[in-house]
Amino acid sequence: MSRPIFDTVAILGLGLIGSSLAHGLRDKGLASRVVGYDASEDVRGRAKALGFCDEIAATPEAAVATADLVILSMPVGAAGAAAKAIAGALKPGVVVTDVGGVKAAVIAKVEAALPEDIAFVPGHPIAGTEHSGPEAGFGSLFEGRWAILTPSERTTDEALQQVSDLWHGLGSDVEIMTPEHHDLVLATTSHLPHLIAFNIVGTAADMEEVTRSEVIKFSAGGFRDFTRIAASDPVMWRDIFLNNKEAVLEMLGRFSEDLAALQRMIRWEDGDALQDLFTRTRAIRRGIIEAGQETEAPDFGRRGAGDTGGPKSDS
Ligand SMILES: NC(=O)C1=CN([C@@H]2O[C@H](COP(=O)(O)OP(=O)(O)OC[C@H]3O[C@@H](n4cnc5c(N)ncnc54)[C@H](O)[C@@H]3O)[C@@H](O)[C@H]2O)C=CC1
Ligand SMILES: O=C(O)C(=O)Cc1ccc(O)cc1
């Protein structure tokens, strides 16, 4: 057990990430009290029954009123409105942070809504699964993963240190970068791969009924892995693409050019070029494994070996 870093922590949004944070903070003794709130009454009821918070508040204002740390854990498209809702109810000296998969757009919207003297520490745990909802959370989700913090003008050194300590307490390694750099890196490593998965599974779903059932029946590793990613939460991913538009379109442009080059290699039967590319991509995968960031089995984003081993559920 660690010592509490914050006394009362309010978590707004009690899905996969919010509930995992609540479990982790309590399991590891990082907060004296965890108050939860979710915009959905149904989720609030389920969270109460699951018991991972000390209290479930009926309104966002009530949830944050006594909080020393507020964690925004809802889809990125809702973060600005959530910040607006709590702006008048925050305690002086409170720290606000978030976990959104996009940083620059969230910072702009949240900081426009929060009082100027409130410290905001934008964050993003590179840890998750394709499951969502309060039943999907587990306290070890962040162990052995990265948490990226992207300080803004409203991030004080003290608040940055406290939030960094919190992620370390949850078992994560912390990396600090600019919001713009985060959005470009994540567009490449997370957003584009998800877009490709949504697209390829969508293409299969649009096939004729008989072919589609065969695709499912005979789905080998490649397609199966894509279906896992394409099962991720639709609202969360809609919001990511709408809020990281420029970086995603930039990466999509490069991807389309490379795809056209591949098309030409196949059309002109340029086996050497194909083999060359596949040799280079295989080396990247092997490099990731050698660096201890991945096991042979698929397991997204781990720094070290092992399986997440947590419960799986969807809301
Ligand atoms: N799912 C993942 O693997 C990861 C997600 N994230 C980020 O975490 C955030 C939450 O994602 P998940 O927990 O996976 O989603 P989720 O779909 O499991 O849960 C989101 C919850 O937020 C609630 N919500 C929506 N608007 C709200 C508001 N204004 N106030 C309070 N609650 C509200 C929803 O009712 C829902 O229960 C997103 O911003 C996402 O980008 C970050 C890392 C990994
Ligand atoms: O489960 C997977 O493959 C993921 O990609 C998890 C994930 C999803 C979104 C994030 O912002 C970070 C991690």
ipTM: 0.99
53 near 36, Cβ under 8 Å?
Answer: yes
Count the residues in the chain: 315
Helix axes 245-267, 179-186, angle to 10 degrees: 30
CA 213 to ligand 1 centroid distance, Å: 32
CA atoms within 13 A on the CB side of 72: 32
How much is the pTM? 0.92
- Model pLDDT, residue 219: 79
Domain ranges of the chain: 6-177, 181-268
Cα angle for residues 50, 228, 42 (degrees, 5° grid): 30
Residues with C-beta less than 6 Å from any ligand 2 atom: 101, 126-130, 190, 229, 300-301
d(Cα 286, Cα 282) in Å, to the nearest integer?
6
Q: Among the residues of 51-205, which ranges form H helices?
A: 60-64, 79-86, 104-113, 157-169, 179-186, 192-205
Task: Give the mutation target among 44, 73, 76, 194 for probing the ligand 1 site: most ligand atoms within 8 A of CB.
Answer: 73
Show the tokens assigned to 16.
Answer: 């996969």
pLDDT digits (tens, 9 = 90+) for 180-213: 999 999 999 999 999 999 999 998 888 877 777 7
CB under 8 Å to 83, separation ≥6 — which residues? 72, 96, 109, 110, 113, 114
Which atom of ligand 1 approaches the CA of 37 most closely? Answer: 31
Q: Which helix (H) or strand (E) holds 31?
A: strand 31-37
DSSP letter for 15, please: S
- Model pLDDT, residue 206: 83
CA 139 to ligand 1 centroid distance, Å: 16
Give the ligand with the smallest distance to the CA of 132: 1
CA 76 to ligand 1 centroid distance, Å: 8
- Three-state secondary-structure class, residue 302: coil
With cut-offs at 50, 70 and 90, classify the pLDDT of residue 314.
low
pLDDT digits (tens, 9 = 90+) for 222-267: 888 899 999 999 999 999 999 999 999 999 999 999 999 999 999 9
CA 183 to ligand 2 centroid distance, Å: 14
d(Cα 282, Cα 280) in Å, to the nearest integer?
5
pLDDT digits (tens, 9 = 90+) for 49-98: 999 999 999 999 999 999 999 999 999 999 999 999 999 999 999 999 99
75 near 236, Cβ under 8 Å?
Answer: yes
d(Cα 230, Cα 199) in Å, to the nearest integer?
8
- The CATH superfamily of 181-268 is 6-phosphogluconate dehydrogenase C-terminal like domain (1.10.3660.10)
CA 78 to ligand 1 centroid distance, Å: 9
Please check whether the domain covering 6-177 is classified as CATH 3.90.600.10: no
44 near 102, Cβ under 8 Å?
Answer: no
pLDDT digits (tens, 9 = 90+) for 115-135: 999 999 999 999 999 999 999
